[in-house]
Amino acid sequence: MKILVINAGSSSLKYQLIDMETEAVLAKGTCERIGISGGKLTHKAGSKTVEIEKELPNHTEAIALVLKQLVDKETGVISSMDEIDAVGHRVVASGEAFTKTTLVTDEVMKTMDEIAELAPLHNPAAILGINACRAVMPEKQMALVFDTSFHATMPDYAHLYAVDYEDYKAYKVRRYGAHGTSHKFVSGEAARYLKRDPEELKIITCHLGNGSSISAVKGGKCIDTSMGFTPLAGVPMGTRSGDIDVAAIEFLCRKKGMSMEEGLTYLNKKCGMLGVSGVSSDFRDLTAAEKEGNYRAGLALKMFAYSCKKYVGAYMAALGGLDCIVFTAGVGENTPSVRKAVLEGLEAFGIALDEEKNLQKNDGSVHDISAKNSKVKILVIPTNEELVIARETAALTSDK
């Protein structure tokens, strides 16, 4: 069985074709600058990379070009489109409308349109991608895999905001979380690595990248997560502020003459590591600048680690204990100094890092960085969101 995974942005479209027997990526690539001039497709299959410069006026043209490459005699990996069994689409927000992976139907797409405003930067783009695939491959089964689904198990007292309950009911304003496919993947991999039943495990998963979120996973289910109604909440991120007193926003907007919309753009794009450091949103630049003695870069990194540490502490309490902490995503997988700073001082809670193992470069597999005496296992696990999307799509479509 072969599954095509699609992750559509407003002007880009990423794809992977995955063979479900081996879970190997047969081909993958990206279309860039869709709808703006200078369109480009980069397609990789095995050791071959092809770059095609072609105007891509819309997502339908982009997906048609992708399919052409997949079946191309030279660069292709399948002989015809019949070999694609189903398509899995990444969707950022589900609201309360969908709590699990869902097959695409006209009715489902109507609901998708209705909830698009929950993630105005992401969901409308996903809809463009889905509609484009439906236009080009009308006979294929398609599934929607939501970033929020894994968090749908949070109990009401964890996902609700303390606003008027009637407003929650009317507008569905609540915590939804994000990066769910990643939290699901790494918590599952952790249980597999530890050879333990997920049912009996308490895990904290730290997805630390340009966007970061931390989740508490009990018995294989998410019970709390740091992102909120949108991915702006939680720990400070590359360019996002993370948690902040909303009254401070109103004050800042007034002082800087910003509208609410401008205020939100400011919080999403100009704050976080970038805003505090004045150097960069990229953790590689920040650690380099800190080494050179840049105070604000060091401060941003300290704020990040401190905020992550507080979530770890809070989630240990929420879980009622802890068996394992997982680090994943760009920063979590590649920045030992951040992992060390997050865990420093938590020895009293049975969390002890092996500093030497922590410095070893990860080789793409599960890396155990816990000290021998650590009661809590500390693991670095490369995330694989596309594989989760493919697995969920395969599971839903193979029995239809």
At CA 261, angle to CA 256 and CA 263, rounded to 5?
35
Please list every residue from 258 through 297 that binds ligand ADP, using CB under 6 A. Answer: 282-284
Check residue 358 for interaction with ligand ADP (CB under 6 A): no
Q: Could you tell me whether strands 367-368 and 324-328 are parallel, antiparallel, or unpaired per DSSP bridges?
A: unpaired
- Cβ distance to ligand ADP smaller for residue 56 or 331: 331
Residue number with CB closer to ligand ADP (384 or 397): 384
Taking CB under 6 A as the rule, does residue 241 contact ligand ADP? no
- The verdict on 230 binding ligand ADP (CB under 6 A) reads no
* Residues 64-103 within binding reach of ligand ADP (CB under 6 A): none
Size of the site for ligand ADP (CB under 6 A): 12
User: Which alpha helices (DSSP H) does the chain contain, by range?
Assistant: 59-71, 106-115, 123-136, 156-159, 165-171, 180-194, 246-256, 260-269, 272-277, 283-291, 295-319, 329-334, 336-343, 355-359, 385-398
For ligand ADP, the binding residue among 334, 358, 370, 397 (CB under 6 A) is 334
Residue number with CB closer to ligand ADP (29 or 330) = 330
Catalytic sites, residue numbers: 147
**Does the footprint of ligand ADP cover residue 209 (CB under 6 A)?**
yes
- Does the footprint of ligand ADP cover residue 211 (CB under 6 A)? yes
Q: Of all residues in this chain, which one has the CB nearest to ligand ADP in the complex?
A: 330
For the CA atoms of 24, 210, 367, 316, the dihedral, rounded to the nearest 10 degrees, stands at -120
Is residue 330 part of the contact set for ligand ADP (CB under 6 A)?
Answer: yes
Cα–chain center distance at 71: 30
Q: How far is the CB of 171 from ligand ADP (least distance, A)?
A: 28
Residue 137 near ligand ADP by CB under 6 A: no
Nearer to ligand ADP, 146 or 283 (CB): 283
**DSSP 8-state symbol, 96:** T
Q: Is 236 in the site for ligand ADP (CB under 6 A)?
A: no
Length of the chain: 400
Q: Which of 7, 149, 181, 335 is close enough to bind ligand ADP by CB under 6 A?
A: 335
Burial class (CB in 10 A: 0-12, 13-18, 19+), 48: exposed
Q: Does residue 182 belong to the site contacting ligand ADP (CB under 6 A)? A: no
Q: Which is nearer to ligand ADP, 99 or 210 (CB)?
A: 210
Contacts of 179 (CB under 8 A, 6+ apart): 147, 207, 211, 213, 215, 227, 329
Q: Which is nearer to ligand ADP, 176 or 304 (CB)?
A: 304
Burial label, 156 (beta-carbon count in 10 A; 0-12, 13-18, 19+): exposed
Angle at 225 between CA 220 and CA 230, to 5 degrees: 130
Least spacing, CB of residue 236 vs ligand ADP, in Å: 12
- The C-alpha atoms of residue 40 and residue 53 are separated, in whole angstroms, by 4
Residues that bind ligand ADP (CB under 6 A): 209-211, 238, 282-284, 329-331, 334-335
